[in-house]
A and B are shown apart, each in its own frame.
Chain A
Amino acid sequence: MLTIFRLSMNACRECLREPVFYLMLLAALIMIGLFPYFSMFVFRQQIRLVCDSAMATTMLFGLFAAALCSARTISREMKNGTVLLLMSKPVSRFAFVIAKIGGILISLTVFVLVCNAATWLSVQIAKDQFRLSTPLIYWYFGAICLAALFGGVRNFISQKSFSSNAVVAMAVLFPAIALVTQIIRVRTWSDYLKADTESFMAADVLLPALCLLFFAVWIMGVISSALATRMEIVGNLMVCLILFLIGMTLHYFAAAAFGTGSVSALLCTSLVPNWQLFWMADALANRVQIPASYFLWATAYSVLYGVAWIGWAFFLFQDSELARDTR
């Protein structure tokens, strides 16, 4: 277990050190931060637009981050031969696969955590359709600059990785700012449950929807990790994108072709993950609270799906030829 933990932490550090991981997170944050501007003058729909766009950004960028992380930590390790070093230590192939997937999932958790905190702030920035919360805008983009500054200083003074330090700073700053603003908001809004839905999104409605995005990105992380045992980054990304697009629509086409609830439709939709399960935009638009039973069911689905793909990853890695290019 200790070996798996050490390998996982190392894989996570490798992911966070990647400049492309930081750039993707930065791009996602800038987009999420700008959505309140794009959704002004939209006839009382600005919160819905911000939520939809920010969640879609998190999901799509999370997918890219998953493919990139797995390609960097698994494919590259197999290509450049460092996997040979690990396999010659008292490390089993099973431990290697589990640890790498664990490390990738930890880094993806950081990614989604920051994006979700940014979404929460972005929703609060979009106060109403005609004006934005200016102080919060300063806090939002200030946090991005501060994180970059922290990474830069650490890099300049101690030669530490700019990317990993900037990402860690973001992972601290964004949830902290989101938490503080939420505390201030709830205290100043005496009866927030009856508040105008144009300008208020309750935490108990939005947070479960944001939490479901973790599951979606984790599943994509496990899938891309399994693919990375046999594929390079481009192929991995293409297959992940195809699975994403099919998974978004397959349940609809399967139901249309075989009938709702039929065994064939069920089999068909079991092959690829049903991303719609994790997409709660419609529920948010109607301010419907996601029931705990649905949340538990989505958790069980994610766990089962994740375990199945971990099995695949192990099967694919078990017989793979290690360090092909070094031979």
Chain B
Amino acid sequence: MMIEAEHLFKRYGTRLVVDDLSLHVNVGDTLGFIGPNGAGKTTTMKMISGVMPPYAGRVRIDGVDIEAEPSLAKARIGFLPENAPLHMTMTVRAFLAYTGRLHGFSGRELARRVDRAMERCALKEAAGQEIESLSKGYKRRVCLAQSILHDPKALIMDEPTDGLDPNQKRQIRELILSLREETAVIISTHILEEVDAVCSRVFLLCKGKTLFDGTKDEFRAKADALHTDLAGLFAAMTEGVQA
């Protein structure tokens, strides 16, 4: 199993935002991590990517415990945070080289990986441009490029297509589909259309609690049984919890 999260809990003060969450993702799987706003998706993404320690529970990436051996585990993770935060004053190439160096690459190997990541994310023509001057879609692609530069075994993406135009969404989705051959992918989103387009599994979270964990077909079958679409099922399952 590439990504294993077991019995994760997270508190902000007295508020429990993630409540006994467990999930497993294998290579070839693309897990759609869905839920309404405030469900705990981003917090879970941060815990799985090692950015934030859980209050309780454990995360293993490719069998490596992220708390016991953070550097080893993080070397296997590619993380695309929400809103694609970047160093705006750097050029695309300089930024990718900087993140590559943090993974320990240098010299020709670094240059090769930067070129490859730019090629995969269609960034070649913007290589010398300052990130600040790029469009939102390009910025998202730069952030995606830094997350795949080191060929991660686990790719964790938080709202990867949020705010993009239809063409940019399609490009990002095609890229995600091309990555899942050799990578375990988790996509946190509240866009159900995205789940339908790229995910093989669905994980529904609401108020920190797991409401559904299964294949996309099982999720769709559940919707069919209730004579509704995916959005209808999503509403039916989450509104009860939120109330």
Q: Which of A32-40, A56-64, A81-89, A198-206 contacts B (4 or more CB under 8 A)?
A: A81-89
B51 contacts which chain A residues (CB < 8 A)?
84, 87-88, 322
In the complex, the chain A residue whose C-beta lies closest to that of B79 is A88
| Distance between Cα atoms of A6 and B110 in the complex (Å) | 14
Which residue in B49, B70, B85, B103 is a CB contact (below 8 Å) of A82?
Answer: B85
Q: Tally of A-B residue pairs with Cβ under 8 A?
A: 73
Is A81 a contact of B74 with CB atoms below 8 Å?
no
B99 contacts which chain A residues (CB < 8 A)?
85, 89
Q: Return the CB mask of A54-90 against B: 1 if under 8 Å, else 0.
A: 0000000000000000000000000011101111111
B43 contacts which chain A residues (CB < 8 A)?
327
B52 in contact (CB, < 8 A)? yes
| Distance between Cα atoms of A171 and B1 in the complex (Å) | 54
Is B146 a contact of A90 with CB atoms below 8 Å?
no
Is A90 a contact of B49 with CB atoms below 8 Å?
no
Is B74 a contact of A82 with CB atoms below 8 Å?
no
Q: Return the CB mask of B108-143 against A: 1 if under 8 Å, else 0.
A: 000000000000000000000010000000000001
In the complex, the chain B residue whose C-beta lies closest to that of A3 is B102
Main secondary structure of the interface of B (DSSP, over half): mixed
Interface size on B (CB < 8 Å)?
31
Is B89 a contact of A86 with CB atoms below 8 Å?
no
In chain A between 80 and 136, which residues have their CB closer than 8 angstroms to a CB of chain B? Answer: 80-82, 84-92
Is B82 a contact of A85 with CB atoms below 8 Å?
no
B75 in contact (CB, < 8 A)? yes
In chain B between 60 and 101, which residues have their CB closer than 8 angstroms to a CB of chain A? Answer: 70-72, 74-75, 77, 79, 81-83, 85-87, 89, 98-99, 101
A161 in contact (CB, < 8 A)? yes
Is A6 a contact of B101 with CB atoms below 8 Å?
yes
Is A322 a contact of B52 with CB atoms below 8 Å?
yes
Is B75 a contact of A81 with CB atoms below 8 Å?
no
A197 in contact (CB, < 8 A)? no
Residues of B within 8 A of A (CB): 12, 42-43, 46, 49-52, 70-72, 74-75, 77, 79, 81-83, 85-87, 89, 98-99, 101-104, 130, 143, 146
A sample of 12 more A-B contacts (CB under 8 A), given A7-B102, A159-B130, is A6-B98, A14-B87, A81-B83, A84-B46, A85-B85, A85-B146, A322-B46, A323-B81, A323-B85, A326-B81, A326-B82, A327-B43
Per CB-CB distance, the 6 closest pairs between chain A and chain B, nearest first, are: A81-B85, A88-B79, A90-B71, A84-B81, A89-B102, A87-B51
